[in-house]
A and B are shown apart, each in its own frame.
Chain A
């Protein structure tokens, strides 16, 4: 699996397809910290959401790297579809981790915050970035070329889902009480944001943990669904 990840990353680098998502990421992070000082928790919540969108974009572009016949050859050499697709998703995840490190360290190094980042806030914010990156990747996998032939459906479907997930709180508020449960199916990209906004940052015990756990459960379910559909 390690070799397959190396192959995917090397191929992605040579394809130059990384340029649009990565450059967009740097621009967005730069814009986010145009003015100083910034509130720590809120700023990290925003960059985590940026990571969510960029990870999904990266995922869809990495999964479109191998043409269908090349994919078949790789699956045969990797001895299994699951191993092939998990390697691809892990490759995207590794890129997302690098971006997370950047978005975490950049405001600290360049003094974008008024206060120092405590260990508790740092840990929670970093975890939030990683969880949202994972969610973005698993959401995008369902719209990738592995399952969708048309790039219009692929990118269009993903864009719509991302917008819906970012607007989930608004949708929840606008729906009548009887239909509010429908929002459970929308990717929980903003649930942790709400939890973070209501957190003082002093004590980990005051933080509502469920939205974080729900992202993990949701991502695992999407991953299982993707691997099952990719096998058909």
Chain B
């Protein structure tokens, strides 16, 4: 199976605020992958990193095939576009390198499939949010992308357009494309998604947390230098106490942190599960 994109130990921070931490992921051919998580967990950031639209703070994004065609549907497609859907798609298509003959044939078909043909005499900045989003979807799929990245694609779409999008995803997958998407408050993709990843506290996991409140461990440790702990990305919060440290760690990574403490000959007093009331959630 052909490898499309490889993320190696990716971290991303904005203004010193860590959004993604040490994420490694391989995206192969012919897959439908979902990345799920709450608002502000870094879903859109990881999609933009995979699309190559942003650079990671550390780590590498590798494209084994440099000429891979990537289609990207942003969460909010820009509404202030001064072209009609046809004009815009024609420009986008020719910029991508699609022949004018193919565009003349394909654009009306896509407009029909997404019920935009009657609105083609209006500029995009005059269309509703849902119809603008449809143009955003078409610009990404008309080049038959090998990797299609969809960031909350159904936001504002009517039921018919949602079904059409599902159909397009299935068609692309049959042709060997990989589809990477994020969504929430929807189950229409559940049948087609093969692999689901969850983002919590900037970390990517295949396991869904049943309850985020149960997901933190409090480690009480002695004889450990706090300057070393500060470099551990898995530690969400650190408090100094009389002669030791209190470390709040995501439950998934507590084993990793505990083994590091032992390797540094720190003394673990106790490990307890604590409620995560969102105090250390990153927005």
Taking CB atoms, residues of chain A closer than 8 Å to B51 are 72, 76
Q: Does A180 contact B (CB under 8 A)?
A: no
Which chain A residue shows the least CB distance to B70?
A76
Q: How far is the CA of A3 from the CA of B82 in the complex (A)?
A: 16
- On chain A, the residues within 8 Å of B80 by CB distance are 67
Segment among A6-14, A49-57, A207-215 that sits at the interface with chain B: A6-14
| B95/A4 in contact, CB under 8 A | yes
Q: How far is the CA of A78 from the CA of B72 in the complex (A)?
A: 13
CA of A6 to CA of B91 in the docked complex: distance in angstroms? 8
A118 located at the interface, meaning its Cβ lies under 8 Å from any Cβ of chain B in the complex: no
A174 to B52, CA, bound (A): 49
Greatest chain B CB density within 10 A among A3, A67, A76, A78 is at A76
Q: Which of A1-53 contact B (CB under 8 A)?
A: 3-4, 6-7, 10-11, 14-15
Q: Are B82 and A69 in contact (CB under 8 A)?
A: no
Q: Tell me whether A76 and B72 are in contact (CB under 8 A).
A: yes
Size of the chain B interface, CB-CB below 8 angstroms: 22
Closest approach, in angstroms, between the C-beta of A185 and any C-beta of chain B? 29
B70: chain A residues within 8 A (beta carbon): 76
State the CA gap A15–B82 with chains docked (Å). Answer: 7
Residues of chain B lying within 8 A (CB to CB) of residue A67: 78, 80
A74 CA to B53 CA, complexed, in Å? 10
Q: Does A181 make an interface contact (CB < 8 A)?
A: no
Q: Which residues of A contact B (CB under 8 A)?
A: 3-4, 6-7, 10-11, 14-15, 67, 69-70, 72-78, 232
Residue numbers of B with Cβ under 8 A of A are 48, 51-53, 55, 70, 72, 74, 76-78, 80-83, 91-92, 94-96, 139, 143
Between-chain CB contacts (< 8 Å), 16 pairs: A3-B91, A10-B83, A10-B91, A14-B83, A15-B82, A67-B78, A67-B80, A69-B76, A69-B78, A72-B48, A72-B72, A73-B74, A73-B78, A76-B52, A76-B70, A77-B96
15 additional A-B pairs beyond A14-B82, A69-B76, A70-B78, beta carbons within 8 Å, are: A3-B95, A7-B91, A10-B91, A11-B82, A14-B83, A15-B82, A69-B74, A69-B78, A72-B53, A72-B74, A73-B78, A75-B53, A76-B53, A77-B96, A78-B95
